[in-house]
Amino acid sequence: MTTVTIPQLREAIPKHCFERSATKSIAYLVRDLALIATLAWSAFTFIPTIQSDPARLILWQIYGFVQGLVGTGLWIIAHECGHGAFSPNQTLNDWCGLFGHSLLLVPYHSWRITHHRHHNYVAHMDKDTAFVPKRAEELSPQKSTQGGRVHAFLESIEDAPAVVLAQLVLHQFFGWPLHMMFNASAGRKSAPEGVKLGYLNSSHFLPLGGLFTRAQWKKIMITNIGLLCVLSMLYKFGQAFGPAMVMHMYFVPWFWVHHWLVAITYLHHNHVDVPHFEDETWTFVKGASSTVDRDFGFVGEHLFHNIIETHVAHHFFPKIPFYHAREATKAIRPVLGESYNKDTTNMMVALWSTFRNCRAMEQVLSKDGKGMVRMWVK
């Protein structure tokens, strides 16, 4: 387990990496919006004129996929706004973030608040807010009980490729909306201190719900107003051009955006050789060190703004803007040493293997023998 300190890491990073430029960030935001607008205009103008039904359907799917890639870039820029990495002016950050995330039907302030807790407690078995693993002992009921027999049966088929594929498809289709509606995959103590979450108070859309403090309700209301504005525009567009056009133009790309979001986040925080921690052994540095950098080639660098390749540095210093993140990563990597995690496996191959192999975690002695950690059952 790492003994590196935050000051040591900060000292290793060139000072200019912490500088945030509103001009540069706005330029990237405008670039992404221009790409989105160009793709949308081109698809709206030309695809309906194609006479062949199969060709038209194929072109709509290509548009949806490519627009989803570009839309993910916009999602990431808005994510930068939530961290204060977009510019030194938080008011500008919040309005740009609200605009960008609302266009994608993402509740900006709601997610910003819970995502901040994710950063505060990453890899904590109870307090993290995203993809908290199951404990092996919680999945081992007595085989003599009816529940135990059902569990034993499910356990016997869980490695079948068809079962894994079905679960993965559900994970990618419904992971994001379930997290927004019910805080799915969050730890049982991920809410503000003293709040007990249930299905009725764990939505990101409830201003007075359990995910937020009473002082935050106005921000959640502003967020919801932004979402309603976008939904009303989609409704008007549907009235004018039909629901099929709304589906092709907006919701297919929207699915791809959130497919990538779920896949990226899942792979950043799950790896067969990377631990999680119980409360008594968790520290911020251990948690941030349990993040995994991956690689997505051209798309990762030019469309996804390096979020995939530089997530370790991002968890240590979330206010470093993405255009300095590669340099910051290069600087902290030798300081972290063996505590730095990097996997260059193809993203889709990694998604499959990680989803198949990372099912539950057991308590074991750490590699250095200095404490207990949670590792994936193999």
Where does the pLDDT of residue 146 fall: very low under 50, low under 70, confident under 90, or very high at 90 and above? Answer: low
**192: containing domain:** 6-376
pLDDT score of 150: 63
Q: How many angstroms separate the CA atoms of 317 and 11, rounded?
A: 12
Residue 139 has pLDDT above 90, yes or no: no
Statement: residue 147 has pLDDT above 70? no
Whether 187 is covered by a domain: the verdict is yes
Amino acid identity at 205: F
Q: Over range 34-52, report the average pLDDT.
A: 98
Q: What is the pLDDT of residues 158-189, one digit of tens each?
A: 778 898 999 999 999 999 999 999 999 999 99
pLDDT at position 205 is: 98
DSSP 287-314: HHHT--B---HHIIIIISTTTTTTHHHH
The confidence score (pLDDT) of residue 145 equals 57
What is the C-alpha separation between 6 and 353, in angstroms, rounded? 32
Other beta carbons within 10 Å of 200: 10
Separation CA 205–CA 218 (nearest Å): 12
Q: What is the mean pLDDT of residues 76-100?
A: 99
Q: Tell me how many domains the chain contains.
A: 1
| pLDDT tens for each residue of 292-351 | 999 999 999 999 999 999 999 999 999 999 999 999 999 999 999 999 999 999 999 999
In angstroms, the CA 264 to CA 131 distance is 12
The rounded percent of the chain whose pLDDT value lies above 70 is 95
Residue 102: pLDDT band (50, 70, 90) is very high
CB 78 within 8 A of CB 106: yes
d(C-alpha 267, C-alpha 262), whole Å: 8
**Interior CA angle at 285 toward 281 and 289, to 5°?**
100
Q: Looking at residues 237-241, what average pLDDT do you find?
A: 98
Tell me which residue has tokens 């409830």: 206
Binning pLDDT at 50, 70 and 90, where does residue 368 land? confident
Look at residue 64 in the predicted model and tell me its pLDDT. 99
Consecutive H or E run containing 335 = helix 322-336
Residues 248-272 pLDDT 10s: 999 999 999 999 999 999 999 999 9
Residues 6 or more apart whose Cβ sits within 8 Å of residue 61: 252
Domain membership of residue 1 (yes or no) is no
Q: How far apart (Å, rounded) are the C-alpha atoms in residues 328 and 17?
A: 7
Give the pLDDT of residue 307: 98
Task: State the pLDDT confidence band at 149, using cuts at 50, 70 and 90.
Answer: low
Q: Output the DSSP codes for 124-184.
A: BTTT--S-PPPBGGGG---TTSHHHHHHHHHHHHTTSHHHHHHHHHHHHHHHHHHHHHH-T
Decide which of 111 and 193 is more confident.
111
pLDDT tens digits along 241-254: 999 999 999 999 99
Q: What is the mean pLDDT of residues 366-370?
A: 79
Task: Output the pLDDT for position 23.
Answer: 99
Euclidean distance between CA atoms 168 and 162, whole angstroms: 10
Buried b (16+ CB within 10 A) or exposed e, 93-116: bbebbbbbbbbbbbbbbbbbbbbe
Give the model's pLDDT for residue 1.
63
pLDDT tops 80 at residue 370: no
**Model pTM score:** 0.94
